[in-house]
């Protein structure tokens, strides 16, 4: 998975910094979204309808390919902002009244039952992650208009991963320092238990 992410990021940066690689840029911008969409259409509809959708999408891509090549960076911008905006929304909506904050859910799955101090901290951590992803989305949008495309591509394809890693490290360090019991496992184990329920 890490190799795929690194490879995708490297190819995306290459396409954004090389004028001759616009076709690759379109493929990288639209490919993942179209693939997921077409798989869902195939699974949720009848084969004939799914086939018609696939043919229609293919025809539209063929017809408008040159226009897409000339404007693919806008698809990149939309994809990046949507991804971080969705992450912010996923964390933020769990802060609404009557809901359990996402970080609280993860911690409870891994270490539960939680003591009051842990519940308070994990709620604040959820708010911090919400703000963090909102700031990333805002930075992606602002830099798109403020710096050359190659610099913007460096930020979205490499720097953002470093910032996320720093946020994980800061979260872990603060938890380890202020909570009454030290974390007994990393965030990856917490995510695994939350997503697949393995113990």
3-state secondary structure 55-81: HHHHHHHHHHHHHHHHHHHHHHHHHHH
Distance CA 160, CA 33 (A): 20
Tell me the HSE value of 97 on the side-chain side, using a 13 A CA sphere.
0
pLDDT band at 197 (very low <50, low <70, confident <90, very high): very low
Q: What percent of the chain has pLDDT over 70?
A: 85
**The model's pTM:** 0.73
Candidate from 20-24, 40-44, 145-149, 170-174 with smallest mean pLDDT: 20-24
Helix (H, G, I), strand (E, B) or coil at 82: helix
Higher pLDDT, residue 77 or 143: 143
Tokens 């001759």, residue located = 20
CA atoms within 13 A on the CB side of 105: 15
Contact 114, 82 (CB under 8 A): no
Report which of residues 160 and 16 the model is more confident about.
160
- 178 within 8 A of 185, measured Cβ to Cβ: no
- Give the model's confidence band at 61: pLDDT under 50 very low, under 70 low, under 90 confident, else very high: confident
Q: Show the DSSP H helices in the chain as ranges.
A: 2-17, 22-44, 47-92, 102-111, 116-146, 149-154, 160-178, 187-196
Q: For the chain, which residues make up each domain, given as ranges?
A: 2-196
Lookup: tokens for 21: 């690689």
In this prediction, residues 58-84 reach a mean pLDDT of 83
Tens digits of residue pLDDT in 134-154: 999 999 999 999 999 889 989
Q: Which of 14-23, 46-55, 77-86 has the lowest mean pLDDT?
A: 14-23
Tokens of 26: 């379109």
pLDDT, mean over the chain: 82
pLDDT band at 189 (very low <50, low <70, confident <90, very high): low
Q: Measure the CA–CA gap between 103 and 13, rounded to whole angstroms.
A: 32
d(C-alpha 63, C-alpha 56), whole Å: 10
């Amino acid at each position: 998975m890490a190799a795929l992410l690194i490879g995708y990021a490297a190819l995306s940066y290459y396409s954004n910094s090389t004028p001759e690689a616009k076709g690759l840029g379109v493929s990288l911008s639209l490919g993942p979204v179209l693939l997921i969409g077409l798989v869902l259409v195939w699974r949720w509809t009848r084969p004939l309808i799914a086939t018609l959708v696939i043919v229609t999408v293919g025809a539209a891509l063929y017809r408008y390919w040159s226009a897409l090549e000339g404007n693919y960076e806008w698809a990149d911008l939309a994809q990046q902002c949507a991804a971080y905006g969705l992450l912010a929304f996923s964390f933020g909506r769990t802060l609404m009244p009557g809901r359990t904050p996402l970080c609280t859910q993860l911690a409870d799955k891994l270490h539960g039952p939680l003591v009051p101090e842990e519940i308070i901290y994990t709620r604040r951590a959820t708010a911090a992650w919400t703000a963090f992803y909102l700031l990333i989305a805002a930075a992606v949008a602002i830099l798109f208009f403020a710096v050359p495309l190659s610099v913007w591509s460096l930020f979205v394809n490499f720097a953002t991963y470093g910032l996320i890693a720093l946020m994980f490290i800061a979260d872990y360090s603060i938890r380890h320092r202020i909570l009454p019991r030290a974390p007994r496992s990393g965030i990856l184990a917490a995510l695994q238990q939350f997503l697949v329920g393995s113990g």
